[in-house]
Amino acid sequence: MKYATAATSSATASHDGPAAFDPSDWAWEFLRRNPDYRADWQASVPRRLAHVTLTDGTRLLRLRRRYPRAERWGLYAFGDPSVSARRGPAFWHLDALQRTVRLRAELPAEPAKDPKGSELLALSDFRVDRVAAIGVDSVPLVLMKGPGSHVPVEISGLAALSLPFAPVFEIGGFADLNAQTELLKRLHRFAEQAPNPGSRSTFGIDERLHHALIALDESLAGKTYRQIAITIYGEKRVAEEWQGPSLFLKDRTRRLVAKGTELMKGGYRDLLL
């Protein structure tokens, strides 16, 4: 399979290229290369579930039943492995997302204020890409996808995702406090971030994951370690260092192939923090 990905193209600084990837995007890039996943996708009925884009830009998948084979991979439903991250949403399952903001939405009697007089929130206030899934339990899970980071938000009590609401955040005891505090700070940044989809990302590409993904693609295509190193580091550097006494470039290339393979075979779940 030829992977449609920006990882090895000139689009690395585009709004939907690797410079904009959050960890869930990298997870999808490695998962979609897994031959067992592709086989399960090929055998699934249907192979793709239609999602809708709400007026605020949120992409929503509403499920009428569960898809256990997709859940095995950490997804609510199968995604097409030929579609790269940011070009098609991956609907990650709640159980695969290791840290989640939990909130209860309180709907006010007055349209502009909550019962305590403070400003209301709407999903459109978060100036990042948003991917939402509503499972059979009817509780929305919204993945807020900023450049370089993401925040999963489980929302109870919200009948329609477009409605403004007063958020009541839930903390699961002191053990949950630190993780929730970090996620809430990140969520707050998403609400303050000015939208500018045409600009270059201020976040650099995660070089470790980028190189591991390139190494994986080259390895799956049958390339040698030297050929893989040339793709990543350039012919000049490989010519100068490949036979060096330290064997640094050889060892690094082997490690990148091993890391990419590990992420493809299940390690991608560790990216969904």
In which residue ranges of the chain is pLDDT below 70?
A: 1-16, 110-118, 193-204
Beta carbons within 8 Å of 92's beta carbon, 6+ residues apart:
24, 27, 74, 75, 76, 143, 152, 272
Give how many domains the chain has, as a whole number. Answer: 2
Q: For 81-123, write each residue's pLDDT tens digit.
A: 999 998 999 999 999 998 999 999 998 876 555 555 567 899 9
Rg over CA atoms, the chain: 21
> C-alpha distances in angstroms, 151 versus 48, 141, 191?
25, 10, 12
Are residue 89 and residue 61 in the same domain, yes or no? Answer: yes
Six-digit token string for 166 = 């007063």
Are residue 35 and residue 155 in the same domain, yes or no? Answer: yes
Instruction: Give CA angle at 172 (23, 68), nearest 5°.
Output: 55
Percent of the chain with pLDDT over 70: 86
Are residue 109 and residue 243 in the same domain, yes or no? Answer: no
Are residue 89 and residue 174 in the same domain, yes or no? Answer: yes
Tell me the whole-structure pTM to 2 decimals.
Answer: 0.87
Beta carbons within 8 Å of 150's beta carbon, 6+ residues apart:
22, 23, 24, 143, 144
Q: For 29-38, write each residue's pLDDT tens digit.
A: 999 999 999 9
Structural domain that includes position 256: 207-271
Unique residue bearing structure tokens 């779940």: 269
